[in-house]
C-alpha cells in the first residue's frame, strides 16, 4: 500500500494562505477597508478546503488495512545535524484524522458564525486573518510528522491565542489577558521543548540519523532507559498542562474570555486546548510503559476537574462559567488518557468540541442580543425572547452535564467507567462528584439566563434572536451535541464502539474487562448524581433566585480560591523584583559600565583628534611633511 501522498500539505496550507492573503489585504487597505463580504468569502475558502481534503484523507484511510493505516508526505529536509534529522513532513493516521475532522468542521462553523458576530467591527479583515492562521497552526500541530514539526503548530496556536485574546487592543485588560495566556503557555512550552530534547537525547543512537518522527520514535521507544522515559513523559505533560489549561497552569484560560466570543469557542472547543490531550495520546506508546506518569496525568486531571467545577459554581460571568467548565472537562480528558483509556479521552475531546462550541456560540448569541452584557445576574427570562437559543443552550447544557442520550454522557461515562475498571476507584469517585457539580453549574446558568423574571428590563426589551448566519451553525452544532455520542456506543448498549475501533491502530491501550453489572451500576449512579445536580440548581435558581453576597466557602470559590493572587504574590512579584534588580543594578553597573567606558574613551579620543582638524591649510601641509619625514626615516632603516 502506498503511504506517500502529496495532498496532505493542502490541509494546513489553505488556511495559512488565506491568513497571508487576508493579512496583506488588511494591511494594504487599512485606511479604507474593503467590503466585509469579500473578507468573509476569502476567509471561508481555507477552512472549507481543508474540510474537503480531510474527508478525502478519511476515505483513503478507511480503505487501508487497519494495522498499517497512515499517510505521509515529506516536503523537504528541515534541518539535519549529526544524528538529528528533521524532515518537514506531515503524517495522517486515524488519531490525527479524527482531530482533523472536528477541527476543520467545527472551525468552519465558527468561521460562519463569526461573519455574523463580527459584522461591523473594526479590523474585520485582521480578525479573519488571525482566525485562518489559528486554524492553520492547529492543523500543522495535528498533522506534523514528529514532535519538532508539531512544535511549529504548538507555538502557532499560542501566538494566535495571544493575538486573538487581546484582539480588542483598546482595553488594557484584554492586552494583559493576552499576555497572561502567552506567558503561561511559554512556561508549558519550556516543558515541551525540554521533553522533546530529552527524548532525542535518549533516542539519538537508536535513531542513528533517521528522521526524528513518530514512526521512528515509536520503533526506538523500547531502547529508552526507564528514567529517561519517565522524564520525557513528565516534561511533555508540563507542556500539556500549559496548552490544555491544567493545574497549575490553567489560570490563563478563564482570562482568555477577553477576546471575541467566537475566539473563545475556537480556543475552547476545537483547537488549542485539545492540543495537550492530542500530544499525550500521540505519545501513548510512551505513557503506556510508564504507569507512574499516567497516574500523575490522571490525578492532575481529575483534581483540576474538581477545582474548576467548584469555581464554576460561583461565577457570575457567563463566559467565565463556560471557561471553568472547559478546564473541568479537560481535566476529565486527562483523567481518561492518564488511566490509559486513550480512546475514551479522545472521544470526550470529540464530543466536547461539539457541545462546548455550541455553548460558547449560544452564549455569544445571548451576549450579542444583550449588547455585550455578560453578567448572568443581569439576565433572566430570555426564553421567550430567544427560544431557539434557549433550546440549543439546553441541549448543550444537558450534553455538558452528561445526561443521556446527549453526547457528553457517553464519552464522560466511558472515562469514568474505564477508571473504575482499571482500579482507580478514587478517580472514579471524584469524577462522579464532578459530574454532579457540572450538572449544577450548567443548569444554574440556564435557569438564571433563560428562566424566571428579567432582572434588567431595558436590555431584555431590546433582546432578539441573532441573524441566520449565526443561528444555523448553532442548529448544526446542537444536532452534533445530541447525536455525536452515538459514534462510540459501547457494547453495553449493544453498540460497536466505532471511534475506539477507528483509533485503535494509533493508540496503545488495553481494554480492561469489567462485569456488565458494575458498568450498569456505575452508569445509574452517575445519572442519579447528574439529576441531583440539576434538581438542586432548579430548586435554588429556577423560580426565585437571590443575588445575595456570597460568604465563607462560596466567597472563596467566587474568588477562584485566590490562586491568581497566590501566583501574583509568590511568583510574579518576586520575578518582577528580580528583573528590577537586574535592570537597576547589574545591567548599568556590571554589563554597561565597560561598554560605556569604552565609548567614553573613544568619544574623548575623537574630540582630541578633532583638534587636529584645525582648518588651516598650512597645518595640513605640515602634517604631510611630518608624515613624509617619518616614512623617510622608516625607509632609511630598510636600506
Partner 1 sequence: MHDLVSFLPLVITCTGALLLMLYAVCPKAEQEKASLMSMGFFAVAFFAQLLVVCTVSRPLFPETFNGMLGVSGFTNAACLIVYACGFFTTLSSHTYFRENHFATVEFYSLLLFSAVGMVLLSMARELITAFIALEIMSLAIYVLVGFNRASSRSTEAIFKYLILGAFSGAFFCMGTAMIYGAAGSTRFDSIAEWLAFNPATTPLMLGGAFFLLITIFFKISAFPFHAWVLDVYDGSSNPITGFMATALKTAVFAMIANFLALSGNLHDSWITGLFWIAVFTMFGGNLIAIGQDNVKRMIAASGIVHSGYLLIALVAINSEYFSGAVIAYYLAAYSVATLGMFAALSWLGGEGEKRVTFDDFKGLAKRQPLAAATIAVFLLSMAGIPPTAGFMGKFYIITSAISAGQIALGVLGIISSIISMWYYLRLIVSMYFHDAEEDFIVDGSSLASISTVALAVAVFAIGLFPLVL
Residue 598 Cβ, how far from partner 1 at the closest point, in Å?
9
Query: Does residue number 76 form part of the binding site for partner 1 (CB under 8 A)?
Result: no
Binding segment toward partner 1, per CB under 8 A, in 203-211, 284-292, 329-337, 611-619: 611-619
Residue 617 Cβ, how far from partner 1 at the closest point, in Å?
5
Q: Which helix (H) or strand (E) holds 76?
A: strand 71-81
Binding segment toward partner 1, per CB under 8 A, in 115-123, 134-142, 389-397, 615-623: 615-623
Query: Does residue number 603 form part of the binding site for partner 1 (CB under 8 A)?
Result: yes
- Strand duo 71-81 + 84-92: pairing: antiparallel
Query: Does residue number 595 form part of the binding site for partner 1 (CB under 8 A)?
Result: no
Residue 603 Cβ, how far from partner 1 at the closest point, in Å?
6
Q: How far is CA 515 from CA 421, 424, 501, 519, 520, in A?
A: 9, 16, 20, 7, 9
Number of residues that bind partner 1 (CB under 8 A): 27
Q: Pick from 27, 183, 226, 626: which binds partner 1 (CB under 8 A)?
A: 626
Binding segment toward partner 1, per CB under 8 A, in 28-36, 376-384, 556-564, 626-634: 626-634
Q: Which residue, 41 or 602, is less far from partner 1 as judged by CB?
A: 602
Q: And the C-alpha cell for 466?
A: 441573532
Residue of 274, 322, 262, 269 lying closest to 127 (CA atoms): 262
Query: Does residue number 612 form part of the binding site for partner 1 (CB under 8 A)?
Result: yes
Q: Are 244 and 352 in contact (CB under 8 A)?
A: no
Q: And the C-alpha cell for 220?
A: 526506538
Q: Are 528 and 404 in contact (CB under 8 A)?
A: no
Q: Which residue, 515 or 637, is less far from partner 1 as judged by CB?
A: 637
Residue 597 Cβ, how far from partner 1 at the closest point, in Å?
14
Q: Which residue, 35 or 594, is less far from partner 1 as judged by CB?
A: 594
Taking the CA atoms of residue 272, residue 277, residue 280 and residue 284 in that order, the dihedral angle to the nearest 10 degrees is -140
Q: Which residue, 571 or 625, is less far from partner 1 as judged by CB?
A: 625
Q: Which residue, 548 or 634, is less far from partner 1 as judged by CB?
A: 634
Query: Which region holds residue 515: left if phi is over 0, alpha if psi is between -120 and 50, else beta?
Result: beta
The three-class DSSP label of residue 164 is helix
Query: Does residue number 619 form part of the binding site for partner 1 (CB under 8 A)?
Result: yes
Residue 594 Cβ, how far from partner 1 at the closest point, in Å?
14
* Main-chain phi, psi angles of 290, to 5 degrees: -125, 85
Query: Which region holds residue 534: left if phi is over 0, alpha if psi is between -120 and 50, else beta?
Result: alpha
Query: Does residue number 31 form part of the binding site for partner 1 (CB under 8 A)?
Result: no
Q: Are 294 and 338 in contact (CB under 8 A)?
A: yes
Spatial distance between the Cα atoms of 570 and 568, rounded to a whole number of angstroms: 6
Q: Which residue, 41 or 600, is less far from partner 1 as judged by CB?
A: 600
Residue 451, CB-side half-sphere exposure with 13 Å CA sphere: 18
Residue of 264, 270, 407, 421 lying closest to 336 (CA atoms): 421
Spatial distance between the Cα atoms of 241 and 250, rounded to a whole number of angstroms: 7
Q: Which residue, 38 or 591, is less far from partner 1 as judged by CB?
A: 591
Dihedral (CA of 528, 530, 533, 539) sign: negative
Alpha helix segments (H runs only) across 538-587: 552-558, 563-567, 573-581
Q: Pick from 4, 223, 581, 599: which binds partner 1 (CB under 8 A)?
A: 599
Spatial distance between the Cα atoms of 429 and 410, rounded to a whole number of angstroms: 17
Q: Which residue, 66 or 604, is less far from partner 1 as judged by CB?
A: 604
Q: Which helix (H) or strand (E) holds 71?
A: strand 71-81
Query: Does residue number 600 form part of the binding site for partner 1 (CB under 8 A)?
Result: no
Residue 625 Cβ, how far from partner 1 at the closest point, in Å?
9
Binding segment toward partner 1, per CB under 8 A, in 34-42, 205-213, 384-392, 623-631: 623-631
Q: Which residue, 585 or 620, is less far from partner 1 as judged by CB?
A: 620
Measured from the Cβ of residue 120, the count of other Cβ atoms closer than 10 Å reads 6
Q: Which residue, 63 or 616, is less far from partner 1 as judged by CB?
A: 616
Query: Does residue number 624 form part of the binding site for partner 1 (CB under 8 A)?
Result: yes
Residue 624 Cβ, how far from partner 1 at the closest point, in Å?
5
Q: Which residue, 575 or 623, is less far from partner 1 as judged by CB?
A: 623
Residue 380 Cβ, how far from partner 1 at the closest point, in Å?
53
The three-class DSSP label of residue 392 is helix
Query: Does residue number 613 form part of the binding site for partner 1 (CB under 8 A)?
Result: yes
Site string for partner 1, 545-584 (x = CB under 8 A): ----------------------------------------
Sole residue written with cell 462553523: 109
Query: Does residue number 1 form part of the binding site for partner 1 (CB under 8 A)?
Result: no
Q: Which residue, 486 or 623, is less far from partner 1 as judged by CB?
A: 623
Binding segment toward partner 1, per CB under 8 A, in 129-137, 251-259, 430-438, 614-622: 614-622
Q: Are 241 and 173 in contact (CB under 8 A)?
A: no
Q: Which residues contact 370 (CB under 8 A, 6 or more apart)?
A: 379, 459, 462, 463
Query: Does residue number 632 form part of the binding site for partner 1 (CB under 8 A)?
Result: yes
Q: Which residue, 225 or 613, is less far from partner 1 as judged by CB?
A: 613
DSSP for 360-377, written as a single string: HHHHHHHHHHTTS--BGG
Q: Which residue, 1 or 639, is less far from partner 1 as judged by CB?
A: 639
Measured from the Cβ of residue 235, the count of other Cβ atoms closer than 10 Å reads 20
Query: Does residue number 633 form part of the binding site for partner 1 (CB under 8 A)?
Result: no
Query: Does residue number 620 form part of the binding site for partner 1 (CB under 8 A)?
Result: yes
Q: Are 353 and 274 in contact (CB under 8 A)?
A: yes
Spatial distance between the Cα atoms of 43 and 584, rounded to a whole number of angstroms: 48
Query: Does residue number 610 form part of the binding site for partner 1 (CB under 8 A)?
Result: yes
Residue 614 Cβ, how far from partner 1 at the closest point, in Å?
8
Q: Rule CB under 8 A: which residues touch partner 1?
A: 599, 602-603, 605-610, 612-613, 615, 617, 619-621, 623-624, 626-628, 631-632, 634-635, 638-639
Amino acid at each position: 500500500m502506498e503511504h506517500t501522498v502529496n495532498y496532505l500539505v493542502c490541509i494546513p496550507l489553505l488556511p495559512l494562505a488565506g491568513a497571508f492573503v487576508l493579512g496583506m489585504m488588511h494591511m494594504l487597505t487599512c485606511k479604507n477597508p474593503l467590503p466585509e463580504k469579500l473578507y468573509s468569502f476569502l476567509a471561508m475558502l481555507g477552512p472549507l478546503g481543508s474540510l474537503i481534503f480531510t474527508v478525502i484523507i478519511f476515505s483513503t484511510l478507511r480503505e487501508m488495512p487497519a494495522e498499517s493505516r497512515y499517510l505521509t508526505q515529506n516536503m523537504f529536509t528541515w534541518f539535519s545535524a549529526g544524528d538529528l534529522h528533521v524532515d518537514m513532513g506531515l503524517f495522517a493516521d486515524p488519531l490525527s484524522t479524527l482531530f482533523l475532522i472536528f477541527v476543520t468542521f467545527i472551525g468552519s462553523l465558527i468561521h460562519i458564525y463569526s461573519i455574523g458576530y463580527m459584522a461591523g467591527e473594526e479590523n474585520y479583515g485582521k480578525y479573519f486573518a488571525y482566525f485562518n492562521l489559528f486554524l492553520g497552526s492547529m492543523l500543522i500541530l495535528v498533522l506534523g510528522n514528529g514532535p519538532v514539526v508539531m512544535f511549529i503548530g504548538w507555538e502557532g496556536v499560542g501566538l494566535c491565542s495571544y493575538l486573538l485574546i487581546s484582539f480588542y487592543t483598546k482595553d488594557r485588560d484584554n492586552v494583559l489577558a493576552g499576555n497572561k495566556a502567552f506567558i503561561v503557555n511559554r512556561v508549558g512550552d519550556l516543558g515541551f521543548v525540554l521533553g522533546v530534547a530529552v527524548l532525542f537525547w535518549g533516542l539519538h543512537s537508536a535513531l542513528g540519523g533517521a528522521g526524528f518522527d513518530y514512526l521512528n520514535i515509536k520503533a526506538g521507544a523500547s531502547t529508552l532507559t526507564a528514567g529517561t522515559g519517565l522524564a520525557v513523559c513528565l516534561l511533555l505533560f508540563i507542556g500539556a498542562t500549559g496548552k490544555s489549561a491544567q493545574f497549575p497552569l490553567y489560570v490563563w484560560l478563564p482570562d482568555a474570555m477577553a477576546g471575541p466570543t467566537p475566539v473563545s469557542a475556537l480556543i475552547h472547543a476545537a483547537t488549542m486546548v485539545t492540543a495537550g490531550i492530542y500530544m499525550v495520546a500521540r505519545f501513548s506508546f510512551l505513557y503506556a510503559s510508564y504507569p507512574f506518569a499516567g497516574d500523575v496525568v490522571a490525578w492532575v486531571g481529575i483534581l483540576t476537574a474538581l477545582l474548576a467545577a467548584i469555581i464554576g459554581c460561583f461565577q457570575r460571568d457567563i463566559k467565565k462559567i463556560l471557561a471553568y467548565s472547559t478546564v473541568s472537562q479537560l481535566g476529565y480528558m486527562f483523567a481518561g488518557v492518564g488511566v490509559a483509556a486513550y480512546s475514551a479521552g479522545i472521544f470526550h475531546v470529540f464530543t466536547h468540541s461539539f457541545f462546548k462550541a455550541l455553548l460558547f456560540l449560544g452564549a455569544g448569541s445571548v451576549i450579542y442580543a444583550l449588547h455585550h452584557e455578560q453578567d448572568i445576574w443581569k439576565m433572566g427570562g430570555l426564553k421567550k425572547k430567544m427560544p431557539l437559543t434557549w433550546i440549543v443552550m439546553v441541549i448543550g447544557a444537558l450534553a455538558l452535564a452528561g445526561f443521556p442520550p446527549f453526547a457528553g454522557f457517553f464519552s464522560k461515562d466511558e472515562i469514568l467507567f474505564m477508571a473504575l475498571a482499571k482500579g482507580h476507584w478514587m478517580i472514579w469517585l471524584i469524577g462522579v462528584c464532578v459530574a454532579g457539580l457540572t450538572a449544577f453549574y450548567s443548569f444554574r446558568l440556564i435557569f438564571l439566563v433563560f428562566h424566571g423574571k428579567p432582572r434588567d428590563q431595558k436590555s431584555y426589551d431590546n433582546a432578539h434572536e441573532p441573524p441566520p448566519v449565526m443561528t444555523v451553525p448553532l442548529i448544526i452544532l446542537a444536532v452534533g451535541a445530541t447525536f455525536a455520542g452515538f459514534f462510540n456506543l459501547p457494547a453495553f448498549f449493544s453498540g460497536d464502539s466505532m471511534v475506539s475501533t477507528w483509533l485503535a491502530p494509533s493508540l496503545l491501550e488495553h481494554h480492561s474487562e469489567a462485569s456488565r453489572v458494575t458498568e450498569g451500576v456505575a452508569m445509574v449512579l452517575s445519572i442519579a448524581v447528574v439529576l441531583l445536580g440539576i434538581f438542586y440548581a432548579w430548586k435554588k435558581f429556577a423560580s426565585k433566585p437571590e443575588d445575595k453576597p456570597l460568604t465563607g466557602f462560596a466567597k472563596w470559590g467566587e474568588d477562584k480560591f485566590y490562586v491568581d493572587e497566590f501566583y501574583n504574590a509568590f511568583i510574579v512579584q518576586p520575578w518582577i523584583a528580580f528583573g528590577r534588580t537586574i535592570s537597576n543594578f547589574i545591567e548599568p553597573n556590571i554589563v554597561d559600565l565597560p561598554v560605556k567606558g569604552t565609548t567614553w574613551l573613544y568619544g574623548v579620543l575623537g574630540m582630541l583628534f578633532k583638534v587636529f582638524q584645525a582648518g588651516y591649510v598650512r597645518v595640513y601641509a605640515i602634517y604631510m611633511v611630518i608624515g613624509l619625514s617619518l616614512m623617510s626615516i622608516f625607509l632609511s632603516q630598510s636600506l
